[in-house]
Amino acid sequence: MSLDERRPGRGGVLGTWLLALMLALGGAGVTHAQPDPSPAPFHLPADGFAFANETVWEYEIDPVTGTVTSHTREHEPEFSLRCGTMARAARQFFAAARFDPSAPPVDADAYARLVHAVLETDPRDPPAERVLIPGYEDLRTFSAAHEALLKRAMGGPWTSYMQRGNWRMIFPFTPRHQRGVASRLLGELAQGRPPIVHLVRFPQLTINHLVVVFQAEEDPAAIRFRVYDPNDAGKPLELTYDRAAEAFSYAATAFFPGGPVRAYEVYDGWLY
């Protein structure tokens, strides 16, 4: 006789309810939805974009004196003034997206919706369940295949211009403040969160730039932070904190001769 053919007595009813209660409380046979596992540490080139933020100007840096001269490009850059936009988006993809190369690819409209879902997340509070991006191994390969889509989705330079922490650059940066920044960056990295850092020399305009810090190496003299620079799609660069001087310096790039900078974290609270 099958179970649905007989009518249980009172004992059978009680047993049925007890079994149901056990299942509801997590008994055998129940499969619970599990949150997405924590992502692996941020890594280049996998977690960066395949394209770069272009500078509006072309720079010539004297290797001896460090003097910088600049002139407008012959052709207006297609995608520029978006270092903040790209730094923010890179961290959003790191925290809110999950790539699965074994899953079947989807069409362009579906990818556009997935990208929109990632870019709608709060970089200060990433979701527990990440957006699945099928058919690609990482952001690098995905952005190489869908460069135009991602550039459209990131929009204009307003995200960089309107980043609410921009006000901080006009106030003094004390050695104590910079020491606190270095300590905070180490803490963020220890918790698996790559911080976004604003580098400035205000009131000088030699650098006004956002990068993603993703790794640190320490010794008694310095902390060397490895960063993803949206202006350089190919390799990590270095932001160094000098313990004795209690000051930061940034590596030489195609647009910056290298040297002292002020640093502070953004997208980390209601003020910044």
The range of the structural domain enclosing residue 9 comes to: 1-32
- Report yes or no on 199 lying in a domain: yes
pLDDT at 30 over 60: no
Greater pLDDT, 23 or 179: 179
pLDDT at 5 over 60: no
Does 168 lie in the same domain as 149? no
Does 171 lie in the same domain as 236? yes
pLDDT at 46 over 90: yes
- Cα–Cα distance, 88 to 257 (Å, whole number): 25
Closest CA to 150 of 24, 53, 39: 53
What's the mean pLDDT in 21-26? 36
DSSP code for 202: T
For the chain, the average pLDDT equals: 83
Does 224 lie in the same domain as 144? no
Closest CA to 248 of 227, 267, 266, 228: 227
What's the mean pLDDT in 79-108? 95
Q: What is the structure's pLDDT at 62?
A: 62
Does 130 lie in the same domain as 85? yes
Does 99 lie in the same domain as 70? yes
The structure's pTM equals: 0.81
Q: Which of 57-61, 133-137, 162-166 has the lowest mean pLDDT?
A: 57-61
- Report yes or no on 215 lying in a domain: yes
Q: What is the structure's pLDDT at 49?
A: 97
Give Cβ neighbours of residue 189 (< 8 Å, ≥ 6 apart): 195, 213, 214, 215, 216
- Cα–Cα distance, 71 to 183 (Å, whole number): 38
Domain count within the chain? 3
What's the mean pLDDT in 39-61? 84
- Report yes or no on 43 lying in a domain: no
What are the tens digits of pLDDT across the range 209-238? 999 999 999 999 999 999 999 999 888 999
Does 205 lie in the same domain as 118? no
- Report yes or no on 187 lying in a domain: yes
Q: Which residues pair with 213 in a beta bridge?
A: 227
Does 122 lie in the same domain as 64? yes
Residue 168's pLDDT band, with cuts at 50, 70 and 90, is confident
The percent of residues above 90 in pLDDT, for the chain, comes to 57
Q: What is the structure's pLDDT at 27?
A: 36
- Cα–Cα distance, 45 to 240 (Å, whole number): 21
What are the tens digits of pLDDT across the range 113-133? 999 999 999 988 888 899 999
Does 183 lie in the same domain as 148? no
